[in-house]
Amino acid sequence: MPLDMPRTASAETSDNDLVFQIIAGNTPAFEILVRRYNPRLFRVARSILKQDADAEDALQEAYIHAFLHLAAFRAEALFSTWLTRIVINESLGRIRKNRQWNNVIDLHENISPTDIAEGATMRVTHHSEPEHQVLQTEIRHLIEQKLDTLPPLLRLVFILRAIEEIPSTEVAALLEVPEATVRTRFFRARQLMQEALSREIEAAYGDVFAFDGERCDKIVAAVMARLH
């Protein structure tokens, strides 16, 4: 097969092969990359911009930029890292343009490099029962709300490490910071998330096995009826 002829692309095709095919003229193969990285990249953009619509707009622009500059990609680095960096730059650019924050995120901000061991990442067990699905949705919404309260730098690292489960070495390369800085930010983000979620749980203790309203009225009525 001539090198300049695109091969058949599928969901199993590697990133680098897809990039080669797209550059060679197989434009439809780009859809595979978009679908492959949509979940991760939306979360990254959302962690920076804090609005779904803004994150979607940034994601679209980042994909267009990546497509137009695929020839600049060097296979020495992971394609996922290269693409994620484009999304981060696009998101940060929108913040600078719109002045949404007084202080723009500085990915190189110094944080005291304490050697803190990383704990296990947050994992969620999936259940098929409707009541579990409802509970998981409520938990997810709560986590999203608490994530939005994290400082921007910590929120981004938490998304990359805990949600996307990207290794610290890759996150460090992506953000162009020392790996120790990634570990420190992740530890602090997890600590803040745990504290915030713990407060929510403690506030709900008083509602455990709640018995009021119609249920209370029903028992009252039944008891009083038997007393007469």
Alpha helices in the chain (DSSP H): 15-23, 30-49, 52-68, 79-98, 130-147, 152-158, 168-175, 179-203, 213-227
What DSSP string describes 100-143? Answer: -SSS---TT-----------PPP------SHHHHHHHHHHHHHH
- Residue 35 pLDDT more than 70? yes
Q: Kindly report the pTM of this predicted structure.
A: 0.65
Q: Which CATH number fits domain 15-98: 1.10.3720.10, 1.10.1740.10, 2.40.50.140, 1.10.10.10?
A: 1.10.1740.10
CATH number of 130-207: 1.10.10.10
- Residue 96 pLDDT more than 90? no
Q: Are 164 and 43 in contact (CB under 8 A)?
A: yes
Provide long-range contacts, Cβ within 8 A and 24+ apart, for 1-9. none
Q: Are 184 and 157 in contact (CB under 8 A)?
A: no
Q: Which residues contact 174 (CB under 8 A, 6 or more apart)?
A: 81, 84, 85, 88, 160, 166
Instruction: Return the structure tokens found at 51.
Output: 């609005």
pLDDT confidence band for 111 (50 / 70 / 90): very low
- Residue 187 pLDDT more than 90? yes
> Region 55-75: what's the mean pLDDT?
91
Dist CA 84 CA 223 (whole Å): 64
pLDDT of residue 5: 43
> Region 94-120: what's the mean pLDDT?
50
- Residue extents of the structural domains in the chain: 15-98, 130-207
